[in-house]
Amino acid sequence: YVTFVSHKGVFVTKLPPDEIREAYNIIAILEGYAAELAALYTSEKEVKKLRQYQKELKKLAREKKYHDYAETNYAFHRYITTLSHNKTLANTISTLRARVYTYRFISVTIPGYLEKYASEHEHIIDAIEKKDSSRARDYMKKHVDFVNDILVSFLKEHNHLNDL
């Protein structure tokens, strides 16, 4: 999302923390549903790919490669939505994630949380592998809600509208 300012250029639209929270609240519910559906449809080969993403995320977290982590994390979440076999759901999540795109890079640079974010994926993958759709949904929702809480608190504390 961008804002056009006459004779000045194009700028990334800055969202107030409450709008970011609202978007992530919806993303948490929808990605939870995507994980629930993925648990019903995912093959062993697809679980292996999730584990490969997870291995890479843990490595990037240890190395504090924030940009690469954010990109790989986005791919991990997008892959789970693909595994849901619900194109409308995947497109809706993609649209919401585009709205808060800039903030995903901020969330991974908040000190003390990157490895925790990465470790939470283990529960999601395990639930998907065991075909436990309700646990997959609950773990995904809890994970996105956690990132949301940390991000919005950080943005409010650091008055992000002046910093971006």
Rounded to whole angstroms, the Cα distance separating 129 from 132 reads: 8
pLDDT score, position 1: 46
Total structural domains within the chain: 1
Over range 90-107, report the average pLDDT: 92
The confidence band for 48, taking pLDDT boundaries of 50, 70 and 90, is very high
- Contact between 90 and 34 under an 8 Å Cβ cutoff? The reply is yes
Q: Is residue 48 part of a domain?
A: yes
The confidence band for 110, taking pLDDT boundaries of 50, 70 and 90, is very high
Q: Is residue 7 part of a domain?
A: no
Find the CATH number of the domain harbouring 125. Answer: 1.20.120.530
Q: Is residue 2 part of a domain?
A: no
Which residue range(s) make up the domain with 32?
16-163
Q: Is residue 129 part of a domain?
A: yes
Q: Is residue 1 part of a domain?
A: no
pTM of the complete model: 0.88
Q: Is residue 27 part of a domain?
A: yes
The confidence band for 139, taking pLDDT boundaries of 50, 70 and 90, is very high
Q: Is residue 101 part of a domain?
A: yes
Least confident of 12-16, 85-89, 112-116, 141-145: 12-16
How much of the chain, in percent, has pLDDT values that exceed 90?
A: 76
Distance of CA 10 to the CA centre of its chain: 26
